[in-house]
């Protein structure tokens, strides 16, 4: 019989809550979902993307991943290991005034998540197209792994994600 891993349990908890926000509460719409197994590395990655209802500018993405070592330690019950997975948040938007808007984004995310999570902003544009608009991919990478001990924190985490998306809409 299949025994779900920590990755599976956390993935299902996040997925259920996000789909409840979509289908039951009507506060967001899921725009993309992927659940990948990398056969070369034997790792897993789950991503779920959404936009807030009424939101035009920001797409939020939750990325949950587990490495070969994470999965191996859990399945083989390696002593003195606490199996978990990695969590990363991404927000996609566009900016025109890089200096002002990127600083505003940094300030908003620091106010919501604290100074421990440093937002990484990667700007891009299509070469050859005349445009003053940049695509901004904003990443928040959690420094520690998430385990089943943090399962009860998922609703609060997702409230912070929703708040971040909402406040980033105003930038």
pLDDT per residue, tens digit, the chain (171 aa), is 467 899 999 999 999 999 999 999 999 999 999 999 999 998 999 999 999 999 999 999 999 999 999 988 888 889 988 889 999 999 999 999 999 999 999 999 999 999 889 999 999 999 988 888 999 999 999 999 999 999 999 999 999 999 999 999 999
Domain count, the chain: 1
Strand partners, 35: 46
Are the CB atoms for 28 and 159 separated by under 8 Å? no
User: How many whole angstroms separate alpha carbon 126 and alpha carbon 135?
Assistant: 9
What pLDDT does residue 2 have? Answer: 62
Domain assignment present for 1 = no
Segments forming the whole domain that contains residue 98: 6-169
Domain assignment present for 117 = yes
């Amino acid at each position: 019989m299949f025994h779900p891993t920590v990755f599976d349990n956390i993935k299902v908890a996040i997925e259920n809550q996000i789909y409840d926000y979509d289908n039951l509460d009507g506060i967001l719409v899921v725009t993309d979902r992927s659940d990948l197994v990398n056969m070369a590395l034997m790792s897993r990655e789950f991503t779920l993307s959404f936009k807030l209802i009424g939101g035009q500018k920001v797409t939020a993405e939750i990325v949950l991943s587990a490495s070969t070592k994470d999965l191996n330690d859990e399945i083989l019950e390696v002593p003195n290991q606490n199996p978990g997975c990695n969590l990363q948040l991404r927000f996609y938007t566009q900016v025109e005034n890089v200096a002002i808007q990127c600083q505003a984004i940094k300030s908003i995310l620091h106010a919501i998540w604290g100074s421990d999570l440093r937002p990484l902003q990667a700007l891009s544009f299509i070469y050859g197209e005349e445009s003053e608009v940049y695509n901004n991919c904003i990443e928040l990478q959690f420094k520690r792994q998430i385990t089943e001990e943090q399962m009860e924190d998922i609703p609060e985490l997702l409230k912070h994600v929703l708040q971040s998306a909402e406040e980033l809409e105003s930038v």
